[in-house]
Amino acid sequence: MMTTLEKVKRLEQYLVMSGSSIDPVLDQSLDKLLVRELTRILALKNRLLNQLSAFEKTYSMSNTDFYQRYEMGEMGDEMDFIEWAATIEMLTHLEKKLGLLQIGSHL
């Protein structure tokens, strides 16, 4: 079975060979897939932001201050702190994905 990346590469090769004669249905389908993925990622971003807000309130500390102290080893390895740091890292990774989806986007 072909991976998603292999499918995308195959589609890319097809589109290169097709030149300017791209099927409008295919083009619309790709736009819809991108919008769907963007919507999914934005919903996840919202959940992560809510989690981060809860951590900030619970510990009366900003995410930035917490993460700096965590990276310096000042916060210990309490489960909440590990989860808080992981949530910050997930959000950072998600922001990069959003940047890729929104570059040159008309979505």
Q: What are the tens digits of pLDDT across the range 51-67?
A: 999 999 999 999 999 99
Domain range annotation of the chain: 25-102
Q: In whole angstroms, what is the distance from residue 105 CA to residue 98 CA?
A: 11
pTM for the model? 0.79
Q: Any idea what the Cα angle at residue 70 is, between residues 64 and 75, rounded to 5°?
A: 120
Q: What is the mean pLDDT of residues 23-36?
A: 89
Q: Which tens digit of pLDDT belongs to each residue from 62-97?
A: 999 999 999 999 998 899 999 999 999 999 999 999
- Cβ–Cβ < 8 Å for 102, 38: yes
Q: How far is 74 from 14, CA to CA, in rounded Å? A: 53
Check: CB of residue 91 under 8 Å from CB of residue 45: yes
Token reading at 28: 């619309």
CA distances from 48 to 5, 63, 94, 105, 107 (A): 26, 12, 10, 24, 23
